[in-house]
Amino acid sequence: MFKRNFSKKRSFGGGAAYGRPKFAFSSNKRGGAGKRQGQDEHISISKFIKRAEITEKSENFVPEHSFTDFNIAEILKGNILAKGYTVPTPIQDRIIPYILKGLDVVGIANTGTGKTGAFLIPLIQKTLLDPKSKILIAVPTRELAAQINEELKSLCPRMKIFSVCCVGGANINRQIADLRYYNNFIIGTPGRLKDLIERKFIDLSKFSTVVLDEADRMLDMGFINDVRFMMAKMPQPRHTLFFSATISREIEYLINEFLKEPVTISVKTGDTAQNVTQDVVKIERGKDKLDILHDLLIRPEFSKVLIFGRTKHGVEKLSKLLERRGFKASSIHGNKNQTQRQRALGLFKQSNIQILVATDVAARGLDIPDVSHVINYDIPATYDDYIHRIGRTGRGDKTGKALTFVE
């Protein structure tokens, strides 16, 4: 979650190695706009083609702080340093001081910029100062909730700070049992959190701090009413931290609704990662799409590949077809329970399988090391979804490639 390595500028990638299309779906340039439920955007194919270029983060970013400079406990500084982190990322450098002061904040940053550390570090410090404090973190997907919980635990050895992860698709009785103990942090998805609140296993009147992470995705996924339900249960005044990769009119409404005089920190440098080469794979008439994918995956440079499909059924079918062809592959989608999804994700993270086929549940926030390629087997519904899909490769100072199949 803590990304440094501010590399010197260098170029990477070449021309169209996979065949350029001679047509486009649309000249529409709305990329990045918020989508409506159930609607697709028209996306120009030109938006899927771009040479990679690694540049210094945030325009020659020079941090004002090191982690040792922050007004945080020595034990927390030691745990951060033990993870090998000394220099904050731009979002961490600029937003941590405001959170430590107890101010509401809005953080706007590209994926892979260390947002999780930007809110966890000051909130751990808040818990060290007040061990009775209770913090709610709401995120759109189960995988992101589990990842944040793991990151929290890695920063809190010897601190007696406790957390519980409450997500759908997992055993609710186990979560209820964990909630009977005192937890400083509850991390979860809106639907499961609302269920547990209605069953009176979570009392939000005792929570004075809330983090809404990937707020734009929660809006897209239709969670906004669940979020409003939770916010209404929390006391006033409260400390609200709001993070989003994009700012639409709807997101601005939410900021005005939920936050009080927030400090807005934006370190977003562009829509897509500069160090991801983007290109298209044209499926010519009469050619088999699966055969073309097969021919790509047998190349040695396709060492760790994340493939995105549009539907749960399609993702599962593609994963099985690839396994029959001898590839080490697995899948994650909404029809799998949390244990199955975490197992598949774990195998992919540890490079025990070459290919993970996924719906957009894997597009947001997940930090998967060394993904060589992202392949959009199905074109995403919106340009926003495209941005987040390809953000799974080329993370930190590494390069990556993104290919989009067009027919």
SS3 string, the chain, reads: CCCCCCCCCEEECCCCCCCCCCCCCCCCCCCCCCCCCCCCCCCCHHHHCECEEECCCCCCCCCCCCHHHCCCCHHHHHHHHHCCCCCCCHHHHHHHHHHHCCCCEEEECCCCCCHHHHHHHHHHHHHHHCCCCCEEEECCCHHHHHHHHHHHHHHCCCCCCCEEEECCCCCHHHHHHHHCCCCCEEEECHHHHHHHHHCCCCCHHHCCEEEECCHHHHHHCCCHHHHHHHHHHCCCCCEEEEEECCCCHHHHHHHHHHCCCCEEEECCCCCCCCCEEEEEEECCCCCCHHHHHHHHHCCCCCCCEEEECCCHHHHHHHHHHHHHCCCCEEEECCCCCHHHHHHHHHHHHCCCCCEEEECHHHCCCCCCCCCCEEEECCCCCCHHHHHHHHCCCCCCCCCEEEEEEEC
The reply to whether CATH 2.20.130.10 applies to domain 10-56+271-406 is no
- For helices 338-349 and 142-155, what crossing angle results, to 10°? 60
Amino acid 366: pLDDT = 72
- HEC string for 104-117: CEEEECCCCCCHHH
Amino acid 170: pLDDT = 87
Distance from C-alpha of 12 to C-alpha of 361, rounded to nearest angstrom: 29
Q: How many other C-beta atoms lie within 10 A of the C-beta of residue 217?
A: 23
Q: List pLDDT tens digits, range 176-231.
A: 999 999 999 999 999 999 999 999 999 999 999 999 998 988 887 889 999 999 99
Q: Does the global pTM surpass 0.85?
A: no
Distance from C-alpha of 152 to C-alpha of 148, rounded to nearest angstrom: 6
Name the residue among 214, 252, 165, 188 with its Cα closest to residue 391: 214
Domain ranges of the chain: 10-56+271-406, 67-266
Amino acid 8: pLDDT = 34
* Spacing of C-alpha 129 from chain mean position: 29
Distance from C-alpha of 183 to C-alpha of 23, rounded to nearest angstrom: 55
Amino acid 274: pLDDT = 67
Q: What is the mean pLDDT of each run of 10 residues along the chain (407 residues)?
A: 37 36 31 42 66 44 84 95 89 95 91 86 97 95 92 94 93 95 96 96 96 89 92 95 87 92 82 75 90 95 95 94 95 86 89 93 74 93 83 78 90
CATH architecture observed for domain 67-266:
3-Layer(aba) Sandwich (3.40)
